Structures are given as structure tokens and as C-alpha cells.
Amino acid sequence: MPTLYGNTTGLSPNATKLLERIYRRKVPLNVIATPELIKALAEASHETGRQVGALVHRSGEIDYVIVGDATRLMLPDIGRLRAAQGRFRALRLVHTHLWNEELTRDDFVDLVRLRLDLVAAIQLTPGGEPRSLQYAYNTPPHEKIEKASDAESIEEHLPYATVGPLLLGRVDVDFGQLIQALEDEFAKRSRTRKVTAKDGRALLVHVAEKTKHGALAHAEESLRELSELADTAGVEIADTVLQLRERIDPRHVMGKGKLDEVLLRAAELDAETLVFDRNLTPSQASAIAKHTDLKVIDRTQLILDIFAQRAESRDGKLQVELAQLKYALPRLSQKDDSLSRLTGGIGGRGPGETKLEIGRRRAKERVSFLEDQLKRLFRQREVRRRRRGRLGVPVVSIVGYTNAGKSTLLNTLTGADVLAENKLFATLDPRSRRLRFPEEREIVLTDTVGFIRDLPPDLFAAFRATFEEAADADLLLHVVDASDPARDQHIETTEALLTELHLVEIPRILVFNKIDRLDADEARWLQQGHPDAILLSATERETARPLLARIAERLKSRWEASALVPTYTVDEGGADDEPVDGEAPSLHRTAATDDGDGESLWNEAQDAQDAQGESASLTTLAELGARPRRSVLRI
């Protein structure tokens, strides 16, 4: 018995017989459909009052006969394996339209999503006779990609071409030749296409509720940040899509209709990935992947991916793997072949890559192993910090939103060459440098990981660890990119995270950076609004003088307190995860006398720095504690 697919309930025996007989038809490659097949589909449609379709294989066989309702046909799951690059599915859909309708959007979506060879609709007369035929086929993506942020542009270029409706006697296309020419064209395009990202291009999607005040401005700002994140992760951005709707759809986030548009747009631009500017539940991600046959990534995954690419220290790598596993675990339980599309991040990079495929039980074991390891490392660091004592060299930590210019400031102040670049999360394994002030006073200046809004909770745990050092800081420099339109939100986010990290109690100086990008009036306004803040340009050394003076002022009593301890020795045991240069280091310190002179501060600080010579090599804060010092102050 041949199987009938779709809406087969309540079919009369006669209808069933007519439908089953359709399987007997054979269709040669040079036509879309034979008159016999068209007639058989029309008869069955008339008998059932439903749309009837056949998926015809290029071999000539009918692979599936499908029954719909009066207005649409739901195709069976014909296997979601993507056709090979540049090739179609080798199946064409020929189906009836009862009321003379032309091809619908559902038809186009099926064509594109399933990469069918072609979709044809047969318009029937009221008496059930076949009258005309209209068909559509996939066309290769446009070469030129234009960036459009408004959703309106979506329908400008369609990823398919439509012919007809033509009266039945007038259809004279050679199907075999048409499909051959199209496949050649697709193959040619994919060969010449520049391959940049492993996952090809991505569409960035932002969906938000209309009702929220300022939703549009927020959406645009958020998409801008997402584009920067995507860029940092090495994702090639094909386009951005923004939709404001009454309510977030619990299943697909956006409406099905909009999702269909997005899928057509993705086909048009040859994008294979959707990056959502929000965090998706495992079932949302899986429903969207299933509906679109595209790889689906959310904001968390994007950030995780960046972290996976950038973490260098052992601790950092363990943290990222843990966060990746915790993210993947609830998704591993989804019994769905779209799973591979949901885990593994961009191209499945990162330390967790192979481990993400190991299944739930192993993943859980790995999570507890990683947690143990991290706890051990944490205890080691804690011991080390305690040994270092409260009265060592004062520590000043630079904190702030990602890309604010923290590393640039560290470099400028200390002459270090920490990587600073126009990418989010350029710094993941923060570095520390010593900075000398007049009167043999000095500080340890530490860089930190940048903050970002809506940090995924599991990543926050990873973050927390990188801020353990900052927890011991005597002073925080909160660096803000003054030229960023979202500057106020960045300050807010940073302050909220400082609270969560229990760092708000530490005295801090607000530093507005990149003032070279502001005009004089803007700078004056900014200073008026924040009288205690320091405005500077981390790229211009001279502008940092007032900051140095302020640091010296704030640390004065702290230096004096440590100076009361005439000789202070740090004795560090070697930790197994850090290099130890043999002997235990000791740190001598001496009582200082009078106060510094603000004006000469900068030059003296620089001279002292230059005189240190060898200490110019980069060291992490942990290493500073564990290595013999060459920049030791002696009497």
C-alpha cells in the first residue's frame, strides 16, 4: 500500500483510491508534469475538496503524494539534510490550487527552505478542471550585499523566480535543461564565493516589544552592539533585521510570517546562520532552527564563542568550557536533529568543542570535574593573595565597559604593550604592570575584562573569577568611552556589575576616555555633569597627568600606612600552575618622607619607569607575587 501524507483523515474510499493511483504516474525529465499527472491531481482534488500535491523525483518516480486542506498543503518531513552545496533536492512539488490562486508565500517558503527543484501550482476551474500552471524556482543569491537595517528591504530581492500562470497548453519549458542550468549557476557562485567565516554569512535579528518606551532606539543600539560582537567573533554579517511586535512569540520569538521573510532573506543573501539579539530558550532555538533549516545562535552563544576564542590562561579556558557546557546541557536533552545547529557555537570552536558532543551524562561529569578544578585554583589564588598581605604595593584596577579603552590606558600609563584593539573583549586574561610615582612610591595597575550588559549568568561566574584580583584593589579606575552614544547605559551596567561583584565599596575614580572625539562644548557639559570625573584621551599621554595626580592624592594615606612597616617581606610558595623562578621572592620597602609635587609627577613617573629597564616585560598580577622582583625598592 503506498502511503499518503498530510491531511488524510476522513477520506472516502474513492478518494483514497484516486490518491493512491497518483503514485503510478511517471514523469520524464523534460517536463514539469505530464498531462496525466495534472489530470490525476485535479481529479483527486475535486473528489476531496482539498489541495493535492506530488513530490516528483528527477528519476521520474512520484516519491510522495500529499493531501492538504482547501487552502494549503503541509509537506511531510522529507529529511532535513541539506542538499550538497550548489545542488537542489532533486524533488519538485506539483500541486493543485482550488480557487485559481497563484503561488502563495507558503509555496515559496517550501521552495527555498527545502531547496526543492521547483514548485508548481495548478489552478483549477470551479468544475475541478485544470486550467493553468504557475511555477517558481530558486535563483542564485545576489553578489552584492547591501546592509539594510529596516525590515522593509527584505522583499526587495527575492531568492526565486516565478513564471505564469500559463494556460496549460502554453507551458513549454524543458525542466531538465532549466534545472541543469540553475545548478551550474549555483555551483559556480559557491565556488567563487569568498569563504570567510566557517558558518558562512549570518543575519542578525533583533525582536522587541513595541510597547516599551524607546524600544526602537534601544533596538538599534542593541543591534549595533550585536554587530560588534559578531564582528569580534569572526561572523560575516549579511544583514540585520529588526522587528517590533506587540508581544514576543513564546515559540518562535517573532511571528511565523516574519520568520518566513527572514528565511527567504537568508536564502537571498546566502546566509546560513541566524544570530538572535536576545537569549533564546532551548525550545525556541530548536523551533526556529527547525522552521528555517538555518543554524541558530543567540547572544549568549556569541559571547561564549568570543570567550572561547580569546581565553588564554588555564583558568580562563576552564571557565569558558564550564560555561559552554552549562549552556549546552539543557540543549543536549532536545531530541532533535537540529541539535548540531544549537551547540558548538560558531563553527563549534572553543575548548568545549569535542566535549559538547559527548552526551549528557559525560557532560555532567565534566561539569563537576571542571568545578572541582576551578575551586582548587581559586583556593590557591586565595592563599597567595592572603600571603601577599594588605600592605604591599597598592593595587589600582582599571574597570569598565568593553572597548572603553582600559588596555590603552594601561599601555599609555605604563608603557606596556597589552593588546588594545577595536574589538569587544580584546582583553580576557588581564595583565598587570607596575607604575612608579615620585618618592619611590609605586602602584600595580591591573587591566580587567570588559563589562557588557545582560551578561549570561554562567559567564558571569567566569567573570567573577577574573575580578578576584580586583577585589583586593585599593582603588578602581572606572573608564568610560565618552564618545559612545550609549555611554550612560554603559556606566549603569558597569555600576550594577560592580555591585554584584562586591566591588562598590572600593574607592573609585570615574574616567571619561576618548575625549579627543568630543567637541569642546560636549566635554565641558560632561565635566559639569560629573565634576569629580577625570576627562582624558588614553591615546595621548599628556592628557593623563590629572589622573596620575588624582591617583597619588587618593593613595597618599595608603602609601603612608605601608611605609610604617619598615621592611615587608612576601614569601610565596610556588603554585603548580604558575612559573616560579627558583628562589622565593622578597619585597623590601622603605619609609618615605615628603609628598609628591603634582606638576613633576608625570616625568618622574616616566623616568622611574624607564630606569627600570628590564621590568618592562609583561607580567600577570599573580606572577608579580611569585617572581623575584627586579624593580624592588631598596634603602
Ligand X SMILES: Nc1nc2c(ncn2[C@@H]2O[C@H](COP(=O)(O)OP(=O)(O)OP(=O)(O)O)[C@@H](O)[C@H]2O)c(=O)[nH]1
Q: Which stretch binds ligand X (CB under 6 A): 262-270, 276-284, 435-443, 512-520?
A: 512-520
- Residue (381 or 406) nearer to ligand X, CB: 406
**Which option in ligand X, Mg ion, none does residue 402 bind, with CB closer than 5 to 8 A by kind?**
ligand X
Residue 385: which of 504, 473, 478 has the closest Cα?
473
Give Cα separations from 472 to 128, 394, 433, 501, 502 (angstroms): 82, 9, 16, 12, 11
Q: Give which of ligand X, Mg ion, none residue 430 binds (C-beta under 5 to 8 Å, depending on kind).
A: none
Question: 233 contacts which partner out of ligand X, Mg ion, none, CB within 5 to 8 A by kind?
Answer: none
- Amino acid of residue 324: Q
* Residue 211 CB neighbours (<10 A): 10
CA gap 306, 444 in Å, rounded: 28
CB-based contact 486:471 (threshold 8 Å) = no
Closer CB to Mg ion, 265 or 406, in the complex: 406
- Per CB under 6 A, the segment of 53-61, 111-119, 239-247, 423-431 that binds ligand X is 423-431
232 contact choice in Mg ion, ligand X, none (CB below 5 to 8 Å, kind-dependent): none
Please give the DSSP secondary-structure letter assigned to residue 535: E
Task: Determine how many CB atoms are found less than 10 A away from the CB of residue 601.
Answer: 18
Neighbours of 468 (CB within 10 A): 15
Q: C-beta of 496: minimal distance to ligand X in Å?
A: 17
Helical H runs in 333-402?
339-342, 360-388
Instruction: Identify the residue among 227, 300, 408, 631 touching ligand X (CB under 6 A).
Output: 408
Residue 421 binding ligand X, by CB under 6 A: yes
- Tell how far CA 42 is from the center of its chain: 49
Q: Is 316 in the site for ligand X (CB under 6 A)?
A: no
If the CB atoms of residues 9 and 422 are measured against ligand X, the closer one turns out to be: 422
Rounded to the nearest whole angstrom, what is the least distance from the CB of residue 490 to ligand X in the complex? Answer: 11
Distance of alpha carbon 384 from alpha carbon 377, whole angstroms: 11
Instruction: Annotate each residue in 375-404 with x if it binds ligand X (CB under 6 A) or - if it does not, as one string.
Output: ---------------------------xxx
Contacting ligand X (CB under 6 A), which of 295, 406, 434, 478? 406
Can you tell me which of 420, 534, 547, 555 binds ligand X, judged by CB under 6 A? 420
User: Which entry of Mg ion, ligand X, none binds 425, CB below 5 to 8 A by partner kind?
Assistant: ligand X
Contact residues for Mg ion, defined by CB under 5 A: 406-407, 426-427
Does 431 contact ligand X by CB under 6 A?
no
Name the residue nearer to ligand X (CB basis): 514 or 627.
Answer: 514
Binding site partner of 9, from Mg ion, ligand X, none, Cβ cut-off 5-8 A by kind: none
**Spacing of C-alpha 443 from chain mean position:** 37
Q: How far, in Å, CA of 290 to CA of 267, rounded?
A: 15
**423 CB-contact burial (10 Å; exposed 0-12 / middle 13-18 / buried 19+):** middle
Nearest to ligand X of 7, 407 (CB atom): 407
The owner of cell 573583549 is 425
Indicate which of ligand X, Mg ion, none lies near residue 493 (CB less than 5 to 8 Å, by partner kind): none
| 427: contact with ligand X by CB under 6 A | yes
Instruction: Work out how close the CB of 425 gets to ligand X at its nearest, in angstroms, rounded to a whole number.
Output: 5
Q: Considering the rule CB under 6 A, would residue 309 count as an interface residue with ligand X?
A: no
Amino acid (one-letter) located at 247: R
237 binds ligand X (CB under 6 A): no
Between 466 and 631, whose beta carbon lies closer to ligand X?
Answer: 466
* DSSP-derived 3-state class of residue 164: strand
Minimum CB distance to ligand X smaller for 175 or for 512: 512
Query: Binds 377, which of Mg ion, ligand X, none (CB < 5 to 8 A, cut-off by type)?
Result: none
Amino acid at 34: T
Q: How far is the CB of 423 from ligand X (least distance, A)?
A: 6
Distance between CA atoms of 62 and 2, rounded to whole angstroms? 11
> At closest approach, how far in Å is the CB of 536 from Mg ion?
16
Nearer to ligand X by Cβ, of 45 and 402: the residue is 402
In angstroms, give the least distance from the CB of 579 to Mg ion: 23
Interface with ligand X includes 313 (CB under 6 A)?
no
Under rule CB under 6 A, residue 422 binds ligand X = yes
Kindly write down the DSSP assignment for every residue of 432-497, as one continuous string: EEEEEETTTEEEEEE--PPB-TT--HHHHHHHHHHTHHHHT-SEEEEEEETT-TTHHHHHHHHHHH
With a CB cutoff of 8 Å and minimum separation 6, the contacts of 62 are 22, 23, 25, 27, 37, 54, 55, 56
| Shortest spacing between CB 604 and ligand X, in angstroms | 23
* Cα angle 420-421-426, degrees, rounded to a multiple of 5: 75
485 binds ligand X (CB under 6 A): no
Exactly one of 135, 160, 425, 463 binds ligand X (CB under 6 A); that residue is 425
514 binds, among ligand X, Mg ion, none (CB under 5 to 8 A by kind): ligand X
* Cα dihedral sign, 341-347-351-355: positive
What is the footprint of ligand X within residues 439-458 (CB under 6 A)? 450
Residues in 515-554 that interact with ligand X by CB under 6 A: 516-517, 537-539
Using the rule CB under 6 A, is 343 a contact of ligand X?
no
Task: Please tell me the distance from the alpha carbon of residue 105 to that of residue 102, in angstroms, as a whole number.
Answer: 10
240 contact choice in ligand X, Mg ion, none (CB below 5 to 8 Å, kind-dependent)? none
566 and 590 in contact (C-beta within 8 Å)? yes
For ligand X, the closer CB: 243 or 466: 466
What is the spatial distance between Cα 289 and Cα 294, in angstroms, rounded to a whole number? 5
Measured from the CB of residue 511, what is the shortest distance to ligand X in angstroms? 10
Question: What is the Cα–Cα distance from 342 to 339, expressed in whole angstroms?
Answer: 5
Q: What are the residues binding ligand X (CB under 6 A)?
A: 402-408, 420-427, 450, 513-514, 516-517, 537-539
